């Protein structure tokens, strides 16, 4: 996925001279995970901007230059560090179009490295995507395949509204797959059915997609067929695909890595309750990260935190019993 993102940035910067990238350590060092490697050499300092360590102005500089018609792609090095920029994202980017009745727009794509993996402890492991789902005006996406990463990043940069593009760090190297060399987009919005099945629906996204698919395969051997729906765009949400699947299977398990309380699953559950109550044959269950402030450093605590295939299997078994 790492190469797919690099390729998308490189190709879009070549295609559209309004596009530039900015962030901490993205130029000379090529990024902590080398996502932006080679771009400084290719495009120069004017379009690959190593910024001061100040997330607020990274995003504000992007917003202001987007108002001038440019297409900035700022990077937040770790989702854990996004908080200093939240004022700019929530009070400015998400509301700019609304508060000017369409007079101003904010076509920025904020790339955010997020998620558990690597035992990096409390401040290099958070996901934090759901914070932004609460804010109309923002689009929030998180691809799980290399193909989608390239296609959705190209779609995000071309989108007329602010998009927060979450990249799960564990997928940088784990998500492998064919990526076309040419130009293509994967639209922001639609969810995708990754596996069809008639017994129950798993709604998931990000790093949990593959783990849910693994669990579904194991359950298949036991005669339970799970449908796995990946919600690639967290906001605005594709209700249609979700509702169609749940109406078909009548049962729903929600799987996400982020914390449980007021997490993305809570909203999904509420939507199903409001719009598919009569179709349900069992409770809507959640398998999520625990309500612990952040992932601790010690390996055994880190492991205890992780949502893994075993936890997903336990959830499926519980739901399948209804």
Q: Where are the alpha helices (DSSP H) in the chain?
A: 2-15, 39-43, 55-67, 86, 96-99, 130-133, 146-158, 171-174, 208-221, 239-249, 264-275, 299-305, 309-320
d(CA 18, CA 305): 42
Q: Any catalytic annotation for residue 256? A: no
d(CA 126, CA 165): 15
Query: Does the protein bind another protein through residue 322 (CB under 8 A)?
Result: no
Site string for another protein, 171-200 (x = CB under 8 A): ------------------x-----------
Query: Does the protein bind another protein through residue 103 (CB under 8 A)?
Result: yes
Closest by CA to 40, choosing from 72, 10, 65, 15, is: 10
Query: Does the protein bind another protein through residue 239 (CB under 8 A)?
Result: yes
Binding span for another protein by CB under 8 A among 100-108, 170-178, 247-255, 288-296: 100-108
Among 13, 77, 80, 97, binds another protein (CB under 8 A): 97
- Shortest distance (Å) from residue 95 CB to another protein: 7
Among 213, 237, 255, 320, binds another protein (CB under 8 A): 237
DSSP β-bridge partners for residue 163: 109, 139
Among 139, 150, 168, 286, binds another protein (CB under 8 A): 139
* Alpha-carbon distances of 262 from 272, 288, 313, 319, rounded to whole Å: 15, 11, 23, 21
Interface with another protein: number of residues (CB under 8 A): 47
* Secondary structure (H, E, C), 183-213: CCCCCCCCCEEEECCCCEEEEECCCHHHHHH
Contacts of 103 (CB under 8 A, 6+ apart): none
Residue 118 or 136 with smaller CB distance to another protein: 136
Residue 97 or 232 with smaller CB distance to another protein: 97
Residue 8 or 237 with smaller CB distance to another protein: 237
Residue 46 or 278 with smaller CB distance to another protein: 46
Beta carbons of 108 and 142 less than 8 angstroms apart: no
Site string for another protein, 53-92 (x = CB under 8 A): -x-xx--xxxxxxxxxxx-------------x--xx--xx
- Shortest distance (Å) from residue 159 CB to another protein: 8
- Shortest distance (Å) from residue 274 CB to another protein: 10
* Alpha-carbon distances of 257 from 34, 154, 207, 210, 260, rounded to whole Å: 24, 25, 8, 12, 9
- Give me the phi and psi of 111, to 5 degrees please: -85, 130
Contacts of 53 (CB under 8 A, 6+ apart): 24
- Shortest distance (Å) from residue 121 CB to another protein: 25
Q: Which of 124, 134, 168, 256 is catalytic?
A: 124
Contact footprint for another protein (CB under 8 A): 20, 46, 51-52, 54, 56-57, 60-70, 84, 87-88, 91-92, 95-105, 136-137, 139, 159-161, 189, 235-237, 239, 267, 271
Active site residues: 124
């Amino acid at each position: 996925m790492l190469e797919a993102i690099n390729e998308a940035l490189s190709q879009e910067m070549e295609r559209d001279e309004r596009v530039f990238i900015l962030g901490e350590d993205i130029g000379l060092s090529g990024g902590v995970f080398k996502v932006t490697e080679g771009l400084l050499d290719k495009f120069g300092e004017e379009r690959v901007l190593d910024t001061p360590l100040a997330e607020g102005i990274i995003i504000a500089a992007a917003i202001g230059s987007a108002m001038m018609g440019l297409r900035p792609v700022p990077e937040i090095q770790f989702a854990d560090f996004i908080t200093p920029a939240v004022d700019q994202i929530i009070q400015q980017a998400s509301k700019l179009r609304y508060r000017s009745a369409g007079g101003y727009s904010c076509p920025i794509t904020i790339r955010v490295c997020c998620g558990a993996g690597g035992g990096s402890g409390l401040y290099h492991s958070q996901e934090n995507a759901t914070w932004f789902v609460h804010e109309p005006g923002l689009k929030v996406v998180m691809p799980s395949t290399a193909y989608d990463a390239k296609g959705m990043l190209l779609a995000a940069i071309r989108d007329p509204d602010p998009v927060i593009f979450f990249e799960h760090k564990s997928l940088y190297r784990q998500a492998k797959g064919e990526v076309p060399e040419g130009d293509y987009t994967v639209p922001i919005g639609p969810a995708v059915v990754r596996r069809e099945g008639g017994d129950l629906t798993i709604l998931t996204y990000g790093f949990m997609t593959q783990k849910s698919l693994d669990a579904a395969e194991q359950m298949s051997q036991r005669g339970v067929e799970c449908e796995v729906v990946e919600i690639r765009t967290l906001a605005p949400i594709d209700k249609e695909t979700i509702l169609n699947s749940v109406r078909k299977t009548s049962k729903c398990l929600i799987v996400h890595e982020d914390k449980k309380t007021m997490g993305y699953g809570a909203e999904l559950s509420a939507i199903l309750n409001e719009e598919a109550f009569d179709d349900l044959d069992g409770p809507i269950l959640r398998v999520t990260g625990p309500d612990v402030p952040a992932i601790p450093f010690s390996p055994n605590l880190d492991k205890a935190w992780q949502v893994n295939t075993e936890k997903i299997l336990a959830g499926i078994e519980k739901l399948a019993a209804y």
